């Protein structure tokens, strides 16, 4: 570990994995800029952790440009945690809601691209930059009823893999975290539209991964010596042997 004061930008920081990542990095005395759309959530997180925050929508070119300008004006940037993303619906391809597919592609793929374009010069200038991209096991394995999200997260993975090739020789690591089932307050609720439907996803599943578990994986990658790159970390709960195989206990 370096004695240099490190500074990270975390997108999608208002809840779930993003908020947990902010908390864990602040506990290690990193300077952290939390970025998301919801100012009330960001303000509460900043008051709790001592992070700073910027309200920005990662699907807006103007917002991302403004965010990056504010971040760079306040000091060096060593790490971008490109976490903002979501899933919508469970349509089969033949019934695809094309507007939902566009929204998922815009945040999960283009949102990452916007953030990288805006902050990459600062990451290079830092001399030890990190880009940690939040993908999913859906970015590596397709499944029925998940076509839009699967397609978007495959795009996320492709961005990470392409960046790693393009940045070879630059002082910037590119890391991808691909979680399986993670029980957070909002992901399945937003995807499925009701708490009842969201609860069924984890019904009978012993100890799903939490936002804190995934944040721990992010922090692990960021805190390795800078010659040590975690290209891809796939994490699943022990009950999830594969994308389609999840042990469920009917008595739980």
d(CA 99, CA 115): 22
Instruction: Supply 108's token pair.
Output: 């999960």
What φ, ψ does residue 240 adopt, rounded to 5°?
-100, 90
How many angstroms separate the most distant Cα atoms in the chain?
A: 55
Which DSSP state fits 5? P
Neighbours of 27 (CB within 10 A): 10
CA angle 234, 236, 241 (to 5 degrees): 110
Instruction: Tell me which residues are annotated as active site.
Output: 149
Q: Determine contact, residues 95/79, Cβ cutoff 8 Å.
A: no
Rounded Cα gap, residues 10 and 112, in angstroms = 11
d(C-alpha 106, C-alpha 206), whole Å: 33
| Spatial distance between the Cα atoms of 8 and 81, rounded to a whole number of angstroms | 7
The answer to whether 13 touches 53, Cβ cutoff 8 Å, is: yes
CA separation for the pair 25, 130 (Å, rounded) = 14
């Amino acid at each position: 570990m370096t004695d240099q004061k490190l500074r990270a930008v975390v997108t999608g920081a208002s809840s779930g994995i993003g908020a947990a990542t902010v908390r864990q990095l602040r506990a290690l005395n990193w300077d952290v800029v939390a970025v998301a759309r919801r100012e009330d959530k960001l303000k509460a997180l900043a008051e709790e952790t001592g992070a700073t925050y910027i309200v920005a929508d990662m699907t807006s070119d103007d917002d991302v440009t403004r965010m990056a300008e504010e971040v760079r004006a306040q000091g060096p940037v060593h790490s971008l945690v490109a976490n903002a993303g979501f899933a919508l619906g469970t349509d089969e391809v033949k019934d695809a809601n094309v507007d939902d597919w566009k929204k998922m592609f815009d945040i999960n793929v283009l949102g990452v691209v916007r953030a990288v374009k805006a902050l990459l010069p600062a990451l290079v200038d830092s001399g030890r930059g990190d880009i940690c991209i939040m993908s999913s096991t859906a970015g590596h394995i397709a499944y029925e009823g998940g076509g839009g999200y699967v397609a978007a997260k495959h795009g996320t993975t492709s961005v990470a893999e392409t960046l790693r090739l393009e940045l070879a020789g630059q002082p910037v690591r590119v890391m991808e975290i691909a979680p399986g089932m993670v029980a957070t307050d909002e992901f399945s609720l937003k995807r499925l539209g009701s708490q009842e439907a969201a609860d069924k996803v984890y019904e009978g599943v012993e100890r799903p991964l939490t936002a804190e578990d995934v944040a721990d994986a992010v922090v692990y990658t960021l805190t390795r010596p800078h010659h040590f790159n975690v290209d891809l970390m796939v994490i699943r709960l022990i009950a999830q042997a594969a994308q389609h195989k999840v042990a469920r206990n009917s008595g739980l």
